[in-house]
Structure 1
Amino acid sequence: MTIKAEALLSLVVNAAEDKKAHDVIALNLKEISLVADYFVICSGNSDTQVQAIASEVRKQAEQKGVRIRGIEGMDTARWVLIDMGDVVAHIFHREEREFYSIERLWSDAKVVEFS
C-alpha cells in the first residue's frame, strides 16, 4: 500500500500530537532538498515522552503500510529520527531541540499550516 506524502505528513503530525508532543511544526522541503518532501519537528519533555512519540509515529505509519527506512536515536531518546522516505520525523528532547535548532538550519523551507 502506498500513501501520499501529504497524507503521511498528516498522520505523523497527528501521531505526535496524540502523545502530547510540544511545538509540532512541519517544513515543506520540496523546492529546496532532495532528502525528503517534509520534515516534522517536535519535542518532548523527557526521554520517556520522546520514546512514546517516536513509537506512536512508527506504529501509525506501519499500520498504513508505510515502510520505515530507518530509525536512529531511540536508545538515548535525545533526538530520534524516523525516515519514512517522503517524510522524516525529528523528535527531540526539549534541550536538544534548542541546541540544534534545525528549524533555523532549514529556514528557507516553508512552514506547513495545519487546521
Structure 2
Amino acid sequence: MTEKEICTAICKAASDKKARDIVTMDMEGLMISADYFVICSANTATQVRAIADNIEEELAKLGVAFNHKEGYREGEWVLLDFGDVVAHVFMQEAREYYALEQLWGDAKLTAYED
C-alpha cells in the first residue's frame, strides 16, 4: 500500500469509531521519521483506545503492521507508528494542549471527508 492509501485507511478506521476533526498532515521534507501524520480527537479515554484498536485491527487486515504504540494505557494520546505514517489519537483537551497542527504549521493539512 502507498502512504496515502495507509492514511486513508487510518482515517476511515478512526471515522468508523466516531473520531472527530480527522486531518492528515503532509510531513514530507519537514521531518525524517515520518512522511504523514493522521490526527484525530475523541471525547473520552475509552473512545481514544477504541479508535486506536480499530485503526490497528483494520490496518492489520490490510497487511499493514504498526512498529510501535505509545500512550495506550493512559488513553489521553495514543500514537501508532506505521513507519512513514504515524497516527495520533487524542482526547480533545490533549490535542489542544499539544497543538501538533500549529507546532508543524508548515505541513499541508487535509481534512478527512467521510
TM-score (norm 1): 0.93
Task: Kindly report the root-mean-square deviation, in angstroms, between the aligned alpha carbons of the 2 structures.
Answer: 1.1
Q: Distance in 2 between matches of 1:103 and 1:86?
A: 18
Q: Which aligned pairs between 1:68-107 and structure 2 lie closer than 5 A?
A: 68-107=66-105
- What whole-Å deviation, never above 9, does each CA across 1:38-76 have from its counterpart, x for those lacking one? 100111000111001000000011111112100001101
Q: SS at 2:37's partner residue?
A: strand
TM-score (norm 2): 0.94
Does residue 27 (structure 1) correspond to residue 5 (structure 2)? The answer is no
Deviation, 1:31, is 2.5
The worse-fitting range, judged by mean Cα deviation, of 12-21 and 32-41 is 32-41
Q: Which aligned pairs between 1:48-59 and structure 2 lie closer than 5 A?
A: 48-59=46-57
Identity %: 42
Match of 1:5 in 2: 3
- Identify if the C-alpha distance between structure 1 residues 65 and 21 changes in structure 2 by more than 3 Å, giving closer, same or farther: same
Gaps of 5+ in 2: none
Gaps of 5+ in 1: none
Q: How many residues align?
A: 113
Extract structure 1 runs of 4+ deviating beyond 3 A. Answer: none
Q: SS at 2:69's partner residue?
A: strand
Deviation, 1:114, is 4.3
